[in-house]
Structure 1
Amino acid sequence: MPYKVQPGVIGCAIRPAIVGRDRSLEEVIYDTTRQALTDAGITMDDVDGIIVACNDQLDGRAISVMMASAAVGGVDRDVLSTPSGSEHAFIMGALRVASGQFRTQLVVAWSPTEASSMPEAERLAADPYFHRRLPLDELSAHALQATALQHAVPGVDDVAAAVLAKNRRHGDLAYPDRSGRATAGPARWPLIAGSTTRPVTGCVALVLATADFIAQRNIAAVAWLHGMGWATEPSFLGDRDLGSAPALQAAAEQAYTEAGITDPLTQLDVVEITDATPYAELLAYEALGLSSRLDWADQVGKGTFSQGGRLPVNLSGGVQTFNPVFCTGLIRLAEIANQVRGHAGAHQQQNARLGLAQAASGFAMQYQAAIVFGRDRDNRGRGART
């Protein structure tokens, strides 16, 4: 690792769909925070700092972190907030631990559905002169991206349908009770009905720690951070080629270099992708070096990325199972951390030792992040799976 101190994830709490109104948002955040600390085997007294990811527009209030400070245990404790994406909170927390100035960091993100109009709330993030007039929200941006990919790759709709079916199958296995499962979202051409999911309320928390802290507490279930990369594309859609994902390619190159990965398809054991649409997942395959667009139909058709395949992708069902919009990126990271820790439950990949999480947020995946976790502290140079 190129960092002064190698961070490890020692605790996770994933609550991808919270149903009912018997708990306030503050209580939901408190409950999730406590679950993560319990999973890590520590108390709030062991937490040196807290990174919060929240979005004022979706929360329907100004400076939402102020509401959450007590719920996350931030009273008389160092608290930072990032409103751009939940995965950015993890990156900030990991860098703080890696700096050697903090033993532990708690990372928490949430996404409520109390805003009267989710599309209107999302449009506030768009530039006021052009994009808001479209009007542009995340679903519109995903539809534009799907259109660009249809133009670039003939026959991509059939492959996208197969990817969608894969993730729905995985979701049925991972969460068979379907409690709080996302329902089919609205269609927006060319996205067909059922290819997106409606937003749900969700919350997620992770605990990061240094190797010294982990050794002192004799913590065995650790997802060690082996590589991390992030990049951003221009906010103006006219300046971008929506039929590709250059920011993700740059993020992946950085993460792979740090982790010593040269052939991700054979070296990785499990992957989580932010599949807001199946077209977004296909673009991620290419940018992550898992499959070129020329091979999409063949590899998806033969089950390469399905459960039991060469490299399972989205064993949790991904966004097609639960869609807590703002925190879904951090959930992808928590899912992979749990996979390498052996804590993934019903959708645990057998002997998952090295995993990749891709998180995307913003209009048409403007923000991209790629994170590699490993069960072993030193995983550099790990060869292909046999």
Structure 2
Amino acid sequence: MIFGNTNLSSCFRNNIWRSSAKFSSPGASMEGSTMGSQIQVGVIGSAVFAPRYPDRTSLEEALHAVTHAALRNAGLTVEDLDGMVVASCDQIDGRAISIMMASGSVGGVGRDILSTPSSGEHAFVLAALRVRSGMYRTQLVVSWNGMETDDINETQHLSTDPYYHRALPLDDLASHALQANALEAQVEGLRDAALGVVQTNRIQGAVAYPDYAPAPREKVLIERSKMLRFPLTEGMVSQPEFGVVALVLASDDWIAEREDAKVAWVHGMGWATEPGFLGDRDLATLPSLRAAAQQAYAESGTDFEKPDFDLAEVADATPYQQLVALEGLGLCPREQWVTSEADGQFAKGGKLPVNLSGGALSFNPVFCSGLMRIAEAANQARGQAGLHQQTNVAKTVAHGASGFAMQYNTVVVFGRDRRSSK
């Protein structure tokens, strides 16, 4: 079994470490709930495990290793946990009731453990709400993309209705391509901007995950690579990968008892959902993301019209998704996508760096990709992001999306300092 800390990628050649809703539909009200402000929640530990050769590492080993790495990063042991929330997908794991396998590996035997099959980012929200309830002081969040199934596209077909979508056949890539087509039809010059997003994220990913992220390529090579689902070429997406993410959360009173904790405070959260049937949606817009952002911003005291983030970690299964996410977060209107990308505003050193980790375009553990965005944004606020740490980070925003064409959207705002009392 392989264990790790904050910088083990140079020690183990085969593995990479970084330890460190409202439901609504178009036309309907998307008002978000305001969560209690008495108890504040902080992220105090984090770990990511990405085995280069998944066939040499069992999922059980990976879960056990990343759990204890996150606990060590937080200065805790499993005995310090009041409970845990895990998120997994039985279809992707290739087994029934995956939580039964995972319980022992994450230390859940004999402890309070909650499981959600929706997405990794939803597990984070559940854990934070548990701490805010006052019933728990500490929580472990773990999610993974196990890749033990033979064909992830076939498993995604099973998630669709058997009469219309399954016959397409619809999977993540097909829905992402439909979304990309809708966006290209509305924004002139978008394809070149999308190619630039891929190039920028791959450059940043090569710094954040130097042993894993694909090498950056010129735009022309990205454009001319094999066409997968029009207009997406092979160079514009990353293949699904095996990955595990773990975070440790604690209440403000618990953190106050341990003054040396490196904390990313949760200033606000929001989540919302699009209709399940693609024909009921305008794939070129994301009203659910705007609703989720408004929820999170209202709680954190952020002006949606003038958000003051130092950086953002957003969903980018395709470069088109990153751009539409920036619009939904109030960070860049679509009229400025092309010029902002060309001016380097989303790159390191730009006006608003986006995905300094390289995002899913550099490393794509599909099911837990949203939790990775949350972990990366939290680590930046904690000063624990490693090789891609930005200086003087005070406030960050994380966005996780899941489901076909970004059906589910979650937004989390982090701060280096606690929120002021309201």
TM-score (norm 1): 0.95
- Preserved CA contact (<8 Å) 1:7 1:209: yes
- RMSD of the alignment, in Å? 1.9
- Equivalent residue for 1:83, pick from 112, 117, 124: 117
Shift of 1:180: 8.5
AA of the residue aligned to 1:341: R
Is 1:287 the counterpart of 2:322 in the alignment?
A: no
Shift of 1:263: 5.2
Q: Match for residue 95 of structure 1? A: 129
AA of the residue aligned to 1:373: F
Unaligned ranges ≥5, structure 1: 382-386
Instruction: Call closer, same or farther: CA 1:26–1:271 in 2, change over 3 Å.
Output: same
Measure, in 1, the Cα distance between the counterparts of 2:82 and 2:408.
Answer: 28
Shift of 1:179: 6.8
- Preserved CA contact (<8 Å) 1:304 1:310: yes
Q: Match for residue 120 of structure 1? A: 154
Measure, in 2, the Cα distance between the counterparts of 1:92 and 1:20.
Answer: 29
Q: Match for residue 203 of structure 1? A: 244
AA of the residue aligned to 2:98: S
Is 1:220 the counterpart of 2:254 in the alignment?
A: no
Measure, in 1, the Cα distance between the counterparts of 2:357 and 2:51.
Answer: 13
Mapping of residues 143-158 of structure 1, within 5 Å: 143-158=177-192
Measure, in 2, the Cα distance between the counterparts of 1:137 and 1:356.
Answer: 28
How many residue pairs match? The answer is 381
Q: Match for residue 246 of structure 1? A: 287
Q: Match for residue 166 of structure 2? A: 132
- Preserved CA contact (<8 Å) 2:202 2:214: no
Further displaced range: 63-72 or 156-165: 156-165
Instruction: Call closer, same or farther: CA 1:326–1:159 in 2, change over 3 Å.
Output: same
Q: Match for residue 350 of structure 1? A: 391
Q: Match for residue 355 of structure 2? A: 314
Cα offsets for 1:64-103 (capped at 9, x unmatched): 0000000010111011100011100000000000011101
Shift of 1:127: 1.3
Cα offsets for 1:209-247 (capped at 9, x unmatched): 001111112243100000100000011000000001111
AA of the residue aligned to 2:53: V
Q: Match for residue 260 of structure 1? A: 301
Q: Match for residue 13 of structure 2? A: none
Unaligned ranges ≥5, structure 2: 1-34, 218-224
Cα offsets for 1:318-341 (capped at 9, x unmatched): 001101110110000000110000
Measure, in 1, the Cα distance between the counterparts of 2:216 and 2:159.
Answer: 24
Measure, in 2, the Cα distance between the counterparts of 1:195 and 1:379.
Answer: 42
Q: Match for residue 333 of structure 1? A: 374
Q: Match for residue 384 of structure 1? A: none
Q: Match for residue 60 of structure 2? A: 26
Shift of 1:24: 1.2
- Preserved CA contact (<8 Å) 1:361 1:367: yes
Q: Match for residue 298 of structure 1? A: 339
Further displaced range: 4-13 or 179-188: 179-188
Say which SS state the counterpart of residue 291 (structure 1) adopts: coil
Say which SS state the counterpart of residue 15 (structure 1) adopts: strand
Say which SS state the counterpart of residue 229 (structure 2) adopts: coil
Shift of 1:165: 1.0
AA of the residue aligned to 2:191: D
- Preserved CA contact (<8 Å) 1:260 1:380: no
Measure, in 1, the Cα distance between the counterparts of 2:300 and 2:321.
Answer: 24
Measure, in 1, the Cα distance between the counterparts of 2:205 and 2:338.
Answer: 22
Say which SS state the counterpart of residue 47 (structure 2) adopts: strand
AA of the residue aligned to 1:309: G
Q: Match for residue 38 of structure 1? A: 72
TM-score (norm 2): 0.87
Measure, in 2, the Cα distance between the counterparts of 1:81 and 1:181.
Answer: 36
Shift of 1:21: 2.9
Measure, in 2, the Cα distance between the counterparts of 1:212 and 1:185.
Answer: 54
Shift of 1:17: 4.7
Measure, in 2, the Cα distance between the counterparts of 1:242 and 1:17.
Answer: 34
- Preserved CA contact (<8 Å) 2:294 2:304: no
Shift of 1:4: 3.4
Shift of 1:22: 3.0
Identity across matched positions, percent = 54
Is 1:368 the counterpart of 2:402 in the alignment?
A: no
- Preserved CA contact (<8 Å) 2:202 2:215: no
Instruction: Call closer, same or farther: CA 1:380–1:344 in 2, change over 3 Å.
Output: farther
